[in-house]
Amino acid sequence: MIPSLFNKSRPINYIIIAGLLFFGFILFQIRNNSEPFSAYLFLERVSILILLIFSLFISNFIAKRNGLSKDSSYPFLFYFIALLFFPSVFNSINLVIASFFVILALRRLFSLQSMQLTKEKIFDASLWIFVASLFHFWAILFIILVFASIIFHVSGDYRNWILPFIAFFTIAVITLFFTLLFEKEWLEEILNTTNYNFELQYSSIISQNSALLIYGFFVVLFLFSILFTFSRRPIILHAAYKKVIYAMLIGILIYLISPIKSNENLIFTFFPMAILATGFVEMTKDDFWKQIIMGIFILIGITLFVFQL
């Protein structure tokens, strides 16, 4: 039933998921928000919700536009379930903003396979990644994917290799100008986020540890599924799937290197996870196993969300 409901891109699917996201977001705020109400807090939470909804739509658009989804709404669904695994994201404005800009960058990188406006796309993607790093410094690691995309598509033109550096200096100059003119402490705050910590730290909350372990299991399952079926996928999509795999590995690396090992840092893996899960489901021919796996994934996501309220 679930696969048949989301195997087509229907408006009702997006309405249902967006409605459930809104309901879950409000429920989480009611149960977990201890801050006194203020106009600033209200605007911050509304901004988080809007950016998450846009992230879902853009992720689904990237998948459909680049042939990573067979005109289904699976990426939309799986991104939403990932949010249920780690609802603390709902209170992490900086991570949500950083993740949103990374998704904008990925949209440009995946569209490079059309071989049109390549220089503009490389520059835009680099620019968005450096903007994302202003909100979570280690998002800057996604610049690796920019250079990987250049290798995949347009490595012959030396000017393409220079564009990320031009984007870096553009953001650096604008940031420096803004901090000196308006908020001098902001630059210091950004520099303080460049710390790293490779030590794994586990939460004292069982539900959060369970969410991390189960999510990790599904990521490994979906990742190995793509790797083992890679040769059976259209050759024209090989570069796109490599980018998805690299994006997943970079997202995991960001979690491992971030100074605070909170589960919400895994937000950078939500997009590649949604694409990998979509590829797994659409390559599974047995409807019975498809329904079982999707049902378990969704049920666990809902259960973990409830336990973390």
Tokens of 168: 């870096």
- Average confidence score pLDDT of the chain: 88
Statement: the pTM of the whole predicted model exceeds 0.85: yes
Instruction: Give the model's pLDDT for residue 4.
Output: 62
For the ranges 8-17, 128-137, 174-183, 192-201, the lowest mean pLDDT is seen at 192-201
pLDDT one-digit tens code per residue, 39-63 = 888 899 999 999 999 999 999 999 9
Do 136 and 98 contact (CB within 8 A), yes or no?
yes
Instruction: Give the model's pLDDT for residue 105.
Output: 96
What 243-246 contacts at long range (C-beta under 8 Å, 24+ apart), as own/partner pairs, is: 243/106, 243/109, 243/110, 243/145, 243/148, 243/149, 243/152, 244/68, 244/272, 244/275, 244/276, 245/272, 245/276, 246/144, 246/145, 246/148
pLDDT: which is higher, 138 or 294: 138
Q: How confident is the model at residue 260 (pLDDT cuts 50, 70, 90)?
A: confident
Q: How confident is the model at residue 1 (pLDDT cuts 50, 70, 90)?
A: low
Instruction: Give the model's pLDDT for residue 235.
Output: 86
Per-residue pLDDT at 164 exceeds 70 = yes
Instruction: Give the model's pLDDT for residue 5.
Output: 67
Q: Residue 64 CA to chain centroid, in angstroms?
A: 16
Instruction: Give the model's pLDDT for residue 57.
Output: 94
pLDDT one-digit tens code per residue, 178-225 = 877 776 676 667 766 777 777 766 665 777 888 899 999 999 999 998
Tell me, what DSSP letter sits at residue 212?
H
Residues 6+ apart with CB under 8 A from 308: 87, 88, 205, 207, 208, 211
Per-residue pLDDT at 113 exceeds 80 = yes
CA distance 198 to 213: 18
Per-residue pLDDT at 155 exceeds 70 = yes
- Segment 152-174 shows an average pLDDT of 91
SS3 133: helix
CA distance 135 to 175: 12
Q: What is the share, in percent, of the chain residues with pLDDT greater than 90?
A: 52
Which position has the token pair 């396979």?
Answer: 113
pLDDT: which is higher, 190 or 64: 64
- Segment 226-241 shows an average pLDDT of 86
